[in-house]
Amino acid sequence: MPAIKSTTTKKNTQETAHHFIKKLEEENTRLHQELNDKNDKYLRILADFQNYQKRMEKEIQAQKEETKKKYLLEILDLTELLKKAYEDPDPKSGLKLLLDNIDKFLQKEGITYIDCKGKPFNYQFHNAVSTIEQSECVDGTILDEIKKGYLVGEKLLRPAHVIVAKKKPLENHLGGV
């Protein structure tokens, strides 16, 4: 009988090994399918993202072209007014019309002038191109504006170029003591 037991044990071991191999093959097949599914999902997402990038590039380009067109049309209108003013025997009225149209355009775009003459110097809005010493002044006051400064909404477009007052130091006339 011990021979039968040995054969039965051998048979059980083979069946167990065969069953274990079958389970491993099933797990391997399942994992391969899962990997293929995830790879397919990844490729779809990648394709969607690449399509999104292309669409955004087209939209950005179209927006740039639309903005460029808008400003070019404004420049053309201003150019025509300038030509009319040039051809006018009294160009002052034509130039006035041109300046009014430029002011309307700037206002429409939210551009405002930085009022600075007589105000304290502020490095965030002003660029000091020169200082002038004076005995009768408040130190750091803007005396003159060389180039106007502008804001777009609340953001600085261009700082004002200004001349700033600097208080002259008092001279001591105590005569060599």
For residue 175, is it within any domain? no
- Residue 73 sits in the same domain as residue 130: no
Residue 92, sorted as left (phi over 0), alpha (psi -120 to 50) or beta, turns out to be alpha
Mean pLDDT of 56-79: 94
Q: Which residue has the higher pLDDT, 4 or 71?
A: 71
The model's pLDDT over 86-122, given as tens digits with 9 standing for 90+, comes to 888 888 888 888 899 899 999 999 999 999 999 999 9
Whole-number mean pLDDT of the chain? 88
- Residue 165 sits in the same domain as residue 94: no
Which pLDDT score, from 0 to 100, does residue 1 have?
A: 46
Which pLDDT score, from 0 to 100, does residue 4 have?
A: 54
Say what the pTM is.
Answer: 0.60
Range(s) of the domain holding residue 27: 1-109
- Residue 78 sits in the same domain as residue 127: no
SS3 of residue 84 by DSSP: helix
CB–CB of 156/125 below 8 Å?
yes
Strand residues in the chain grouped as ranges (E): 111-113, 126-134, 142-147, 150-152, 155-158, 160-167
- Residue 115 sits in the same domain as residue 102: no
- Residue 33 sits in the same domain as residue 104: yes
- Residue 122 sits in the same domain as residue 89: no
Amino acid found at 6: S
The radius of gyration computed from the CA coordinates of the chain, to the nearest angstrom, equals 41
Structure tokens at 119: 């105000």
- Residue 93 sits in the same domain as residue 119: no
CA distances to 1, 26, 68, 113 from 71, rounded to whole Å, are: 104, 67, 5, 20
The model's pLDDT over 19-49, given as tens digits with 9 standing for 90+, comes to 899 999 999 999 999 999 999 999 999 999 9
- Residue 152 sits in the same domain as residue 95: no
Question: Which CATH number is 83's domain given?
Answer: 3.90.20
> Measured between alpha carbons, how far is 78 from 86 in angstroms, rounded to an integer?
12
Question: Which CATH number is 162's domain given?
Answer: 2.30.22.10
The model's pLDDT over 114-167, given as tens digits with 9 standing for 90+, comes to 999 999 999 999 999 999 988 888 889 999 999 999 999 999 999 999 999 998
- Residue 154 sits in the same domain as residue 85: no
CB–CB of 105/81 below 8 Å?
no
Confidence grade of residue 177 (pLDDT, cut at 50, 70, 90): very low
Residue 62, sorted as left (phi over 0), alpha (psi -120 to 50) or beta, turns out to be alpha
- Residue 148 sits in the same domain as residue 71: no
> Measured between alpha carbons, how far is 129 from 114 in angstroms, rounded to an integer?
16
Last residue of a domain, one of 109, 129, 155: 109
- Residue 59 sits in the same domain as residue 135: no
Which pLDDT score, from 0 to 100, does residue 173 have?
A: 54
Which pLDDT score, from 0 to 100, does residue 59 have?
A: 97
